[in-house]
C-alpha cells in the first residue's frame, strides 16, 4: 500500500510539473503575441506565422522524432477537414489570393459555412476541401497558410489521415509544444472562427 501511495504521489507530482511547465510556455507565448497588438492584421499575421515557423524549426532540430515527419507536398487529406483561423490570418489569406489574381469561391464558402467542426464530414465530398487546395493536392497559398496548418504534422502513414479509411485513430502526431501554446495564446488574444465564415467576413471587410 505504501509503495502504491508513493507511486501515485510521484505521478501527481510529475503531472503538476508538466502543467506548470506548459503554463509557463503559454504565458511566454501570450506575452510575445501581446507585443503584436496594435499592428495591422496583415503585419500581425506575417509576424505570427514567422514566429511559429521559428518555433517549429527549432523543435524539429532538437527533437529526434521530427526526422520521421511524413507530411509532404501533395499529401492533403487534412485539407478536407475543418480548420479554425483568426481574423488576422483570414485577412492575409484574402490578400494572398488577390495578389495572385485569383478570386474567392464564395459560393462554396457559403455552403461550407452551414457546417460546424462536428458536422463537417456530412458535406458532399466535393465541398469538404479547403478552397485553397489546388491540383495535385498542393496548397495554393502555402506561404500564407494559417498556424493550424503549419503545426499539424504527423509521423504515421499519411493514408491514416484520410477520414474515408476509418483509421484516424492510428494517426501519430508530432507536437511542438511551443507552437501549440502559441496557437492557444493566439486563440485567446485574437479569437477564431471556422475558415469559411472567417474568409467571407474578411472578404466583405476588404471590399
pLDDT at 59: 95
pLDDT at 3: 73
Residue 141's domain spans which residues?
2-205
Contact status, residue 139 vs residue 133, Cβ threshold 8 Å: yes
Binned average pLDDT, 10 residues per bin, the chain of 207 residues = 71 85 92 89 96 96 93 92 96 95 94 96 93 93 96 94 87 94 95 96 86
Give, as one character, the DSSP assignment of residue 166: T
Q: DSSP states of 18-51 as a string? A: HHHHHHHHHHHHHHHHHTTTTS-HHHHHHHHHHH
Number of domains in the chain: 1
Distances (CA, A) of 194 to 2, 64, 97, 157: 50, 33, 18, 27
pLDDT at 13: 78
Q: Which residues contact 201 (CB under 8 A, 6 or more apart)?
A: 87, 90, 193
Contact status, residue 79 vs residue 139, Cβ threshold 8 Å: yes
The pTM of the full predicted model, rounded to 2 decimals, is: 0.89
Amino acid at each position: 500500500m505504501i509503495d502504491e501511495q508513493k507511486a501515485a504521489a510521484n505521478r501527481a507530482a510529475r503531472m503538476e510539473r508538466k502543467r506548470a511547465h506548459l503554463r509557463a510556455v503559454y504565458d511566454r507565448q501570450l506575452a510575445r503575441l501581446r507585443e503584436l497588438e496594435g499592428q495591422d492584421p496583415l503585419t500581425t499575421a506575417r509576424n505570427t506565422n514567422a514566429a511559429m515557423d521559428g518555433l517549429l524549426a527549432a523543435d524539429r532540430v532538437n527533437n529526434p522524432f521530427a526526422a520521421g515527419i511524413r507530411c509532404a507536398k501533395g499529401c492533403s487529406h487534412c485539407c478536407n477537414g475543418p480548420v479554425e483561423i483568426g481574423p488576422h490570418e483570414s485577412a492575409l489569406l484574402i490578400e494572398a489570393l488577390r495578389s495572385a489574381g485569383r478570386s474567392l469561391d464564395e459560393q462554396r464558402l457559403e455552403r461550407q459555412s452551414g457546417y460546424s467542426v462536428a458536422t463537417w464530414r456530412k458535406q458532399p465530398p466535393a465541398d469538404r476541401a479547403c478552397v485553397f487546395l489546388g491540383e495535385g493536392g498542393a496548397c495554393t497559398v502555402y506561404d500564407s497558410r494559417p498556424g493550424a496548418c503549419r503545426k499539424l504534422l504527423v509521423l504515421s502513414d499519411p493514408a491514416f489521415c484520410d477520414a474515408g479509411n476509418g483509421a484516424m485513430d492510428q494517426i501519430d502526431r508530432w507536437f511542438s509544444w511551443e507552437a501549440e501554446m502559441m496557437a492557444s495564446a493566439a486563440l485567446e488574444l485574437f479569437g477564431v472562427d471556422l475558415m469559411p465564415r472567417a474568409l467571407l467576413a474578411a472578404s466583405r471587410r476588404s471590399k
